[in-house]
Amino acid sequence: MAKIITLDGPAGAGKSSTARQLAARLGWCYMDTGAMYRAVALAALNRGVSLTDQLKLAALAGVLGISFSEGRVLLDGEDVSAEIRTERITTATRPVADAPPVREAMKQLQRRMAEELNVVTEGRDQGSVVFPGAALKIFLEASPEERAHRRHRQQTNQAGPAATVEEILQAQTRRDEGDRARPVGAMRAAEDAIVLNTDGLSLEEVVERIFTLAQSRGLAATPEPSPSEMP
Ligand code: DC
C-alpha cells in the first residue's frame, strides 16, 4: 500500500519547499497539486476553453497529461514549469480551482497518481478531501506578515522586488479569502491534521519536525540507537 503525507495551508506558508525537501529526504514522490490546477488553466487558455464553462474545464482536466519529472511540471510532455507561475495563469487558475466539476476530476487524477507510489502531496484540500486516510496530515501556517515578507524576499532574490510588502499582503489576503470561501475543496485543516506554525522557523527546522513526526508514525526509517543508548 502506498503511503501518503499531506501538506496543506495558505500560499506563502512554505508548503512547496517543505514538501519538496521532505519528499527528497524520504525518497518519496512530490505532488504539487497547485501546479496541476495551474496546468489546467494554461491548457484552457491555449485551447480557447472558456474559464466560466465548468463542464468543459472538467472534461479538459480529465484528458490532460499532467506529470512531474525531475522537479519540472509537464503538460502533455511539454515543460510548462515557468509559464504556469506567471501572473496571467495565477489569475486564470482561480475560476478553474473554484469549479466543483474540475475539483472532482482533479481528485480522481490525484488519487490515481498516488495509487502505487509513496507521495508527499501539497495543496489546500489534500488532507481534508482528497486523501482522508493519509498516514500523516500537516497544515502549515504562518502569520500573514511573515508570509508576505518571505514572498518579497523571494522576489527580490529572483528578479528584484516587483511589488511592495504591503501590495503582496493585500493580494495574499484576497487569495486566502478566496481559498477559504470556495464551496467545494475549501482550504481547511482536516480534523486529524497537525497544525504547524512556521513563524520564526527555518525551512530546515520545519522539514526536520515533519520528518520526526513521520518517523514516529513508522513512515521513515528510525536511526539505530547508538551503543550508549542500548538497554
Ligand atoms: O499553491 P498554488 O498557488 O500553486 O495554487 C494555485 C491555485 O490553485 C490557487 O488558487 C489555489 C488553488 N489550489 C486549490 O484550490 N487546491 C489545491 N489542492 C491546490 C491549489
34 CA to centre of ligand 1 in angstroms = 4
Question: Residue 130: is its pLDDT beyond 90?
Answer: yes
Question: Look-up: residue for cell 496530515?
Answer: 137
- Would you state the pLDDT for residue 166? 94
37 lines ligand 1 (CB under 6 A): yes
Q: Which of 32, 108, 109, 124 to mutate to test the pocket of ligand 1 (most atoms within 8 A of CB)?
A: 124
Report whether residue 38 contacts ligand 1, using a CB cutoff of 6 Å. Answer: yes
Average pLDDT, the chain: 93
Domains of the chain by start residue, with CATH: 4-217 (3.40.50.300)
163 CB under 6 A from ligand 1?
no
What are the residues whose beta carbons fall under 8 Å from the beta carbon of 206, sequence distance 6 or more?
14, 18, 140, 196, 198
User: Is residue 162 very low, low, confident or very high in pLDDT (cuts 50, 70, 90)?
Assistant: confident
Give mean pLDDT, residues 88-92: 95
pLDDT at 161: 67
Confidence class of residue 229 from pLDDT cuts 50, 70 and 90? low
Q: What is the pLDDT of residues 189-200, one digit of tens each?
A: 999 999 999 999
The alpha carbon of 32 and the centre of ligand 1 are apart by a number of angstroms equal to 9
Alpha helix locations (H) across the chain? 15-26, 33-47, 54-63, 87-98, 100-113, 144-159, 165-181, 203-216
Coil, helix or strand at residue 71: coil
Each residue of 34-48: pLDDT tens digit? Answer: 999 999 999 999 999
The minimum-distance atom of ligand 1 relative to the CA of 126 is 18
Does residue 8 line the site of ligand 1, with CB under 6 A? no
- 9 CB near ligand 1 (under 6 Å): no
Q: pLDDT at residue 107 above 50?
A: yes
How far apart are the C-alpha atoms of 96 and 204, rounded to whole Å?
33
Q: Is the CB of 176 under 6 A from ligand 1?
A: no
